[in-house]
A and B are shown apart, each in its own frame.
Chain A
Amino acid sequence: MILNGQVNYILMKQGNNGFVEALSEKACSALYYRIGFKLKEYPILSWKWKVLQFPDTSSAQNEDQKDDYAARVYVIFPFFSFSSSKFIEYVWSPDMPVGTITTHPKAKNVKMIVVRSGASSNKEWVNERRNVYEDYIKVFGTKPNMNVGAVAIMSDADHTKTVAEAAFDDIAIER
């Protein structure tokens, strides 16, 4: 899904392992995979990621301009309309502390959770494992009453007009 310029999502291979590398040059677009499942049955989402370059937010003058992340993983709960749907974004932030939860300034139903902060040592793969069911209750205050409709990844640097680069691998749902 192209939002503002096209991010290059390239399928890479390292030995026997394949992964997706995302290179965003002043661009913002996402890759989503439609997958319908009940969160109660598959509450765990796991993935591997690494950030190769964070977007430079030093010249950003407001929060809107800072809204660029090298790596985001979305869990999307579509339901009749945008306002009745729910969205959880897991982000890797360069500076916000892990555990920070924010709400999108233009949509109350879009919650962002910082799951990783700062650069990883030697830009190595980092494993994540989230209990999305519990995260949902934590951020929305209610049990999920709708199914997951899609999982997405995104790397964006369109607000800062800089470059962001990240890689994603082994995205999986588990019981």
Chain B
Amino acid sequence: MLKIRRRKYLVKQDTQFRYMGLVLIPLVLLLTCLYYLMYYAVFNHLLIPEAVISILLPAMKQVNTVLILCMPVLFFLLVYAGLIYSNRLIGPIPRLEREIDRIIAGDHSIRLKTRDKDDLKQFVGKINILLEKLSKAA
């Protein structure tokens, strides 16, 4: 069977960015809350200003430096992973639309194609079985 290579990872900007946002925004919020929770728990435990200044603030400075240095790499990795995984769901849709348009136009020999890792693979497979049965019945 002919394999279709994934050439573009960003095929439907609006939809892909929306799904990526749905995952990334809660993730960033969760991490921010965890960061604050840890900071506040230690601050609330130390409480005495001299202790906070000599123990917590230098530690936070160190953590913040590492975060600032790692943030661009982390952000890139998150966006990259988001693109790949959102593409597995949304990537085939524009091509499937074109193929279905051709079937509607009367070309019943067309069968829908997906890539190995596409999430819609099973669903598209069943549509192909349906198309096969319909063309035999005709």
- Is B49 a contact of A107 with CB atoms below 8 Å? yes
- Is A3 a contact of B54 with CB atoms below 8 Å? yes
The verdict on A157 contacting chain B, using a C-beta distance below 8 Å, is: no
Within 8 A of A (CB), among B77-116: none
Give the distance in Å from the alpha carbon of A32 to the alpha carbon of B39 in the complex.
19
Known contacts A82-B57, A104-B53, A106-B53: A3-B39 contact under CB 8 Å: no
**Residues on A with beta carbons closer than 8 Å to the beta carbon of B48:** 1, 3, 30, 32, 74, 76, 152, 154
Is chain B's interface secondary structure helix, strand, loop, or mixed overall? Answer: helix
Least Cβ distance of A8 to chain B in Å?
A: 17
**Residues on B with beta carbons closer than 8 Å to the beta carbon of A156:** 50
**Residues on B with beta carbons closer than 8 Å to the beta carbon of A3:** 48, 50-51, 54-55
The verdict on A110 contacting chain B, using a C-beta distance below 8 Å, is: yes
Least Cβ distance of B113 to chain A in Å?
A: 55
Is chain A's interface secondary structure helix, strand, loop, or mixed overall? Answer: strand
- Is B57 a contact of A1 with CB atoms below 8 Å? no
- Is A110 a contact of B49 with CB atoms below 8 Å? yes
Give the distance in Å from the alpha carbon of A32 to the alpha carbon of B45 in the complex.
10
- Is A80 a contact of B40 with CB atoms below 8 Å? yes
The verdict on B9 contacting chain A, using a C-beta distance below 8 Å, is: no
- Sample of 13 A–B contacts (CB below 8 Å): A1-B46, A3-B51, A30-B48, A76-B47, A76-B48, A78-B47, A81-B39, A81-B40, A82-B52, A82-B57, A106-B57, A107-B49, A109-B49
